[in-house]
Amino acid sequence: MAPVPISSIKVGHIDDVQELRKNRPKTIPERFVRDMSERPTPAMALSPPSSDMPVIDFSKLTKGNSEQIQSETLKLADACESWGFFQVLNHEVDLTLMEIMEKSSREFFMLPLEEKQKYQMAPGTVQGYGQAFVFSEDQKLDWCNMFALGIEPQFIRNPNLWPKKPATFSETVEVYSREMRKVCQNLLKYIGLGLGLEGDVFEKMFGEAVQAIRMNYYPPCSRPDLVLGLSPHSDGSALTVLQQAKGSPVGLQILKDQTWLPLQLIPNALLINIGDTIEVLTNGKYKSVEHRAVAHKDKDRLSIVTFYAPSYEVELSPMQEFVDEKNTCKYRRYNHGEYSKHYVTNKLQGKKTLDFAKI
Residue range 17-71, pLDDT digits in tens? 999 999 998 999 999 999 998 998 765 445 556 668 899 999 999 998 999 999 9
Assess contact for 297 and 82: CB atoms under 8 A.
no
Indicate the DSSP class of residue 325.
Answer: S
At the top level of CATH, the class of 28-41+48-357 is mainly beta
Which residues of the chain carry a pLDDT beneath 50? 1-6, 44-45
Q: What is the pLDDT of residue 5?
A: 47
Q: What is the pLDDT of residue 2?
A: 45
Predicted TM-score of the model (pTM): 0.94
What number of residues does the chain have?
Answer: 359
Indicate the DSSP class of residue 99.
Answer: H
Indicate the DSSP class of residue 37.
Answer: G
Q: What is the pLDDT of residues 86-104, one digit of tens each?
A: 999 999 999 999 999 999 9
Cα 185 to Cα 3, 192, 241, distances in angstroms: 23, 11, 12
Nearest to 38 by CA among 244, 213, 227, 183: 227
Q: What is the pLDDT of residue 46?
A: 56
Helix (H) / strand (E) containing 32? none
Assess contact for 274 and 291: CB atoms under 8 A.
no
Q: What is the pLDDT of residue 230?
A: 94
Instruction: Quote helix, strand, coil % in the chain, to nearest 5.
Output: 35, 20, 45
| 12 alpha carbon, distance to own chain's centre | 26
| 24 alpha carbon, distance to own chain's centre | 30
Helix (H) / strand (E) containing 130? strand 128-130
Provide the edge-to-edge strand list for the sheet that holds 230-233. 230-233, 291-293, 252-256, 259-262
Q: What is the pLDDT of residue 49?
A: 60
- How far apart CA 270 and CA 90 sit, in angstroms, is 9
- How far apart CA 110 and CA 321 sit, in angstroms, is 49
The two beta strands, 291-293 and 230-233, are antiparallel
Exposed, middle or buried by CB within 10 Å (0-12, 13-18, 19+), for 147? Answer: buried
* 97 Cβ contact partners less than 8 Å away, ≥ 6 residues apart: 172, 175, 176, 179
Query: Which amino acid appears at position 201 of this protein?
Result: V
